[in-house]
Copies of this chain bind each other. A is one copy, B any other.
């Protein structure tokens, strides 16, 4: 069985395991105040081109999202997200558990637009009974989205402008950020992300780390006391060094970018194979997730040797599948899949 079902099926890039072994007996203080974390912070600030950024490391994405959002909002405020956004559908109500409503916006491909956000805020602020409704106070985006799509710089800048107009914070979930940065069409660099958002995170779990997400906060009000929030939400890792060391290894040596680039290239080869064979794609994804629409018979044929996700049923005859690549995907696996797609 060759697996393309997710981007977290293996452990970590071997370089990380080496570094863990090398440093294992070094003694450090706990809770993310060690030298590995400090060094990883410096690297991230440099990559983002902003020395004033607060960088904190959390273990997982849901934890990062809930911690940032709860730290940022007052009780009566909510966070705008795509209907399909991770916080709206796949976090078991983690955001609501901190007391806040997710304000969903319809989306066809995982993205939402400045215009949609503007319309939602306009409707709120022009309503005489707005105090009976949740006040929109933050925008949550995923880059890339859950559907593999990307915001371009122009789109993100337009969203930032709406945020400024309505006093909204802008937060970007970068669980798969590496794969977005590696996309050929991407023009949202780390310095752009840092400049345009109030906070975002650089995902490690899905891009080569054992686990870990680096939260990057530009907004000074949100920086304040952020470590209390991490502790309160259960995200303060005793041996925080493990997080620092992983990001130091990934980003200090540019591994993060090279492994993401390779995974995206592999994904595009898979994509091309499906397109060449005449299959349509559900979303136009330039990143490591690909969503071909296949007839049921073809799905059954591929199932024998490959693991992948059944994304959604189009109708009785056709389904959308998801194929993911990652730092661990082998070229031989990609080639086998391409060969078998051609045979369908």
- The chain A residues found within 8 Å of chain B, CB to CB, are 3, 5-6, 8-12, 14, 17, 20-21, 23-31, 59-63, 66-67, 70-71, 74-76, 78, 89-94, 96-102, 129, 131-135, 205-206, 210-211, 225, 227-239, 241-242, 328
Q: How far, in angstroms, from A132 to B195 measured CA to CA in the complex?
A: 31
A contact patch SS: loop
- Tell which of B61, B66, B99, B231 touches A131, judged by Cβ atoms closer than 8 Å: B231
Q: B238, A205: Cβ atoms under 8 Å?
A: yes
How far, in angstroms, from A92 to B129 measured CA to CA in the complex? 10
Known: A60-B238, A210-B239, A227-B131. A101 touches B90 (CB 8 A): no
Q: Is the CB of A133 within 8 A of B25?
A: no
Distance in angstroms between the alpha carbons of A66 and B67 in the assembled complex: 14
Q: Are A228 and B76 in contact (CB under 8 A)?
A: yes
Measured CB to CB, the closest approach of chain B to A120, in angstroms, equals 13
Query: Contact at B30–A10, with CB atoms within 8 Å?
Result: no
Which of A61, A96, A328 neighbours the largest number of chain B CB atoms within 10 Å of its CB?
A96
A237 engages B59 (CB within 8 Å): yes
Bound: A101/B99 CA distance, A: 9
Whole-angstrom distance between the alpha carbons of A305 and B94 in the complex?
A: 46
Copies held by the complex: 4
B70 touches A132 (CB 8 A): no
What residues of chain B lie closer than 8 Å to A210, measured between beta carbons?
20, 239, 242
Q: Cβ of A131 and Cβ of B26 under 8 Å apart?
A: no
Residue of B nearest to A229 (CB): B76
Query: Contact at B30–A9, with CB atoms within 8 Å?
Result: yes
| A242 cross-chain contacts in B, Cβ below 8 A | 11, 210-211
Inside 8 A of A11's CB, which chain B residues have their CB?
20, 23-26, 239, 241-242
Q: Give the complex CA separation of A151 and B293 in angstroms.
A: 41
Task: Taking A97-B98, A131-B230 as given, write out 4 further A-B residue pairs in contact, using a Cβ cutoff of 8 Å, ordered by the A residue number.
Answer: A9-B29, A62-B231, A97-B233, A206-B238
Quote the shortest CB–CB distance from A284 to chain B (angstroms).
Answer: 25
Complex Cα distance, B228 from A97, in Å, reads 12
Question: Does the CB pair A60–B9 fall under 8 Å?
Answer: no
Pick the residue among B6, B21, B75, B90 that contacts A30 (CB under 8 A).
B6
Do B101 and A93 have beta carbons less than 8 Å apart? yes
Find chain B residues with CB under 8 A from A89 CB: 133
Cα of A242 to Cα of B239 in the assembled complex, Å: 15
A91 and B23 contacting across the interface, CB-CB below 8 Å:
no
